[in-house]
Chains A and B, each alone.
Chain A
Amino acid sequence: MWEYTDKLKDHFFNPRNVGEIEDPDGVGEVGSLACGDALKLTFKLDANGRITDAKFKTFGCASAIATSSVLTEMIKGLTLAEAAKVTNKDIAEYLGGLPEQKMHCSVMGREALEAAIENYQSGGKKKHELEGNIICTCFGVTDKEIERVIRENNLTTVEEVTNYCKAGGGCGGCQGEIEKMIEKIQPDEIKQAPLTVARRAGKLTNIQKIQLIQQTINEQIRPALRAHGGNIELIDVEGNKVVVAFRGMCAQCRLADFTMKDVVEAKLREFVSEQLFVEEDKESAQQPHNHRE
């Protein structure tokens, strides 16, 4: 069970400002049913440009509901300029803290607030749009959003990024990219984490090379394929030729060539040896495979 603060439980069991304001000045909608949480925030301004009323509707877990409730409480009485400065950290602190894995709820609150302000500034026309390029396709998280949670919360690991904005928490296929982003944004902060696979060092014996190829497939390649209903099997290694078979969806995927060349070969060259090249096992390529998803 999650350890929630008394304040969070209070806001969950007795949520404040539930509903939708009729004829609001700003509307912010973020999240979706499929993602597991969604928030619709509406606010009304007074003559002086201060938020007089704010209401929310939230689909999600207890902490999603509680963060929405405190958000409406926090922004009442603020000017839009003041409200725009509210960060996800402020929301979490107001609740007396959130479990690490629930930090994304506070980020959702801040995103909804931003979307609502944007909506007001565009005269009620603008709907929230994702900025930047999508990195995490499972949860639709962009590079801009990832960069922002890294900077604002001083994050140094992929796991933390997942906790804060969900990116990397689905198939895991984008974790490498997130890792690179952290390295770029926080070069001084990263702890010297041991790499999952030993980088090439000196000359490998044949047995070492084959083991390293298998390990690279296990750790770097299979998780991403598996998430999309596919799989990969190491069939043989002859000199620098690595023979693999694709299973499941990947076997029939029209991007199979692309996957093989770009992902498998690139990973094997990165982690094992520049000289390696990949071929698909002919026999298995012709076999019919089941779609898993």
Chain B
Amino acid sequence: MKTIYFDNNATTKVAEQVFEEMEPLFCELYGNPSSMHTFGGQMGRRIRQAREQVAGLLGCEPSEIIFTSGGTESDNAAIKGTLAALPHKRKIITTRVEHPAVLTVCRELENHGYTVVELPVGKQGRLDLAELEEQIDDDTALVTIMYANNETGVVFPIEKIADLVADRGVIFHTDAVQAIGKIPLDLSKSNIDLLSLSGHKLHAPKGVGVLYVRKGTRISPFMFGGHQEAGRRAGTENVPGIVGLGKACELAAKNIEQENNKVKKLRDKLEKAILENCPDSRLNGDKENRLPNTTNISFEYIEGEAILLMLDKYGICASSGSACTSGSLEPSHVLRAMGVPFTAAHGSIRFSLSRYNTEEEVDYTIEKMPGIVNQLRELSPFVAT
């Protein structure tokens, strides 16, 4: 059976060109860039090239790029590193819809005496910027707000937020893991101080990511033990991962047009057909300010995990915000923050596309979806027959 992969916000396929770049770095060119010999030392050049490729996509200086093990490490390093550099400030502002890599870190810091403000969102998942402004005070060390939401694809007005935060002289971090490669961004014209990205969300391998630190931003190192990354992140470089990420960023810069045309068209077709063909379904999140690849749809009276398993039978991969898929007993914190009723949150499905998806795959899914929904509704005690 063919796999139809609509779960690209969870992880993506490694692009063939990326893999080709990485392949010789395991068994042939396996040297340590810190070594004095040519065999190892030559790898430094490859890392430098990757740093330039990443900087090219982000519109920043190569020296502003720190390679990490992924999005979660970048988020941890940004938040804890900023607080450690500003020991006299005790307040963090974030949102209720952040990825756990930010939200859990902030809540843990609360246990160490920090005050954490979690800004609410409206029904469409939008923030109230006036409320953010009101919350920033002299005690605020950091504002951390995601670029785009992983579950709904809702994009926050990050540039506006960065300006607003910069005006008040506070450090601004954004978790841009879902945005990079999907929407254009130019850090040279931005007030963003810190930005996290993850390799495996943009067709690079798992286990590599980036923390962008704007020149002049004070941040204490998170990992100690070596001089790598100019002393800002110790540990022998993940050379194949870094080289792969560099290539993936180069490809992303070329493909960003395609993401916004081809992928968006496919997403829109899938979304429109499902909403039309499946009664009692609803879209979750802001339709205007949204990633081009993501749609999050709730199906009333049925449960997400059951839908996923039915889709799985046809080789279709998606994800759900239902309680049952997480192992916890409550549905997605993002949908709850948006005030999506529990009943709809339990039946939510996220489809997230990539440039590797085809119209055929979308058509096949459109054809299967109503049958799946009907089959489960026939079982549901909340649907009159």
A in complex with B: yes
**Interface on A for B, CB 8 Å cutoff?**
2, 9, 12-13, 15, 18-20, 29, 33-34, 36-40, 57-62, 64-65, 101-102, 138-139, 162, 166, 169-170, 214, 218, 222, 226, 231, 233-234, 290, 292
Q: Which of B305, B306, B330, B346 contacts A33 (CB 8 A)?
A: B346
Whether A39 pairs with B381 at a CB distance below 8 angstroms is yes
* Minimal beta-carbon separation of A137 from chain B (angstroms): 13
Instruction: Find chain B residues with CB under 8 A from A39 CB.
Output: 381
B185 lies within 8 A of chain A by Cβ = no
* Minimal beta-carbon separation of B331 from chain A (angstroms): 7
Whether B381 pairs with A57 at a CB distance below 8 angstroms is yes
A39 and B381 CA atoms in complex are apart in Å by: 7
Residue of A nearest to B331 (CB): A36
Whether A290 pairs with B323 at a CB distance below 8 angstroms is no
Q: How large is the interface on B (under 10, 10 to 19, 20 to 34, 35 or more residues)?
A: 35 or more
10 tightest CB-CB pairs across the interface, nearest first? Answer: A169-B329, A61-B324, A61-B305, A57-B381, A218-B111, A40-B381, A33-B343, A34-B342, A59-B380, A36-B323
Instruction: Find chain B residues with CB under 8 A from A166 CB.
Output: 329
A235 and B309 CA atoms in complex are apart in Å by: 49
Whether A61 pairs with B379 at a CB distance below 8 angstroms is no
Instruction: Find chain B residues with CB under 8 A from A290 CB.
Output: 120
Whether A34 pairs with B110 at a CB distance below 8 angstroms is no
Instruction: Find chain B residues with CB under 8 A from A36 CB.
Output: 303, 322-324, 329, 331, 342, 346
Complex A-B: 21 CB contacts under 8 Å: A20-B385, A29-B381, A34-B342, A36-B303, A36-B323, A36-B342, A37-B303, A38-B381, A40-B381, A57-B379, A59-B379, A59-B382, A60-B303, A61-B306, A62-B309, A138-B329, A138-B330, A166-B329, A170-B329, A218-B110, A222-B110
B266-305 residues at the A interface, CB under 8 angstroms? 301-305
* Minimal beta-carbon separation of B238 from chain A (angstroms): 27
A148 and B327 CA atoms in complex are apart in Å by: 23
Whether A59 pairs with B303 at a CB distance below 8 angstroms is yes
Q: Which of A64, A139, A170, A214 contacts B113 (CB 8 A)?
A: A214
Besides A58-B381, A169-B329, 15 more A-B contacts (Cβ < 8 Å) are: A18-B378, A18-B379, A34-B342, A38-B382, A58-B380, A59-B380, A61-B304, A61-B305, A65-B379, A138-B330, A214-B111, A222-B110, A226-B107, A231-B110, A292-B120
B313 lies within 8 A of chain A by Cβ = yes
* Minimal beta-carbon separation of A274 from chain B (angstroms): 24
Q: Which of B113, B328, B385 contacts A169 (CB 8 A)?
A: B328
* Minimal beta-carbon separation of B186 from chain A (angstroms): 34
* Minimal beta-carbon separation of B269 from chain A (angstroms): 28
Instruction: Find chain A residues with CB under 8 A from B379 CB.
Output: 15, 18, 57-59, 65
* Minimal beta-carbon separation of A290 from chain B (angstroms): 7
Whether B342 pairs with A162 at a CB distance below 8 angstroms is no
B118 lies within 8 A of chain A by Cβ = yes
A273 and B118 CA atoms in complex are apart in Å by: 33
A102 and B107 CA atoms in complex are apart in Å by: 28
Instruction: Find chain B residues with CB under 8 A from A12 CB.
Output: 306, 309
B115 lies within 8 A of chain A by Cβ = yes
Instruction: Find chain A residues with CB under 8 A from B306 CB.
Output: 12, 60-62, 64-65
* Minimal beta-carbon separation of A263 from chain B (angstroms): 17
A139 and B323 CA atoms in complex are apart in Å by: 13
* Minimal beta-carbon separation of A204 from chain B (angstroms): 19
A170 and B115 CA atoms in complex are apart in Å by: 24
* Minimal beta-carbon separation of B190 from chain A (angstroms): 29
Instruction: Find chain A residues with CB under 8 A from B330 CB.
Output: 138, 169-170
Contact with A along B193-210 (1 / 0, CB 8 A): 000000000000000000
A178 and B301 CA atoms in complex are apart in Å by: 31
* Minimal beta-carbon separation of B318 from chain A (angstroms): 12
**Contacts A214-B113, A233-B115; A162 near B329 (Cβ below 8 A):** yes
* Minimal beta-carbon separation of A293 from chain B (angstroms): 9
Instruction: Find chain A residues with CB under 8 A from B324 CB.
Output: 36-37, 60-61, 64, 102
Whether B329 pairs with A57 at a CB distance below 8 angstroms is no
Whether A62 pairs with B113 at a CB distance below 8 angstroms is no
Most buried by A among B118, B309, B379: B379
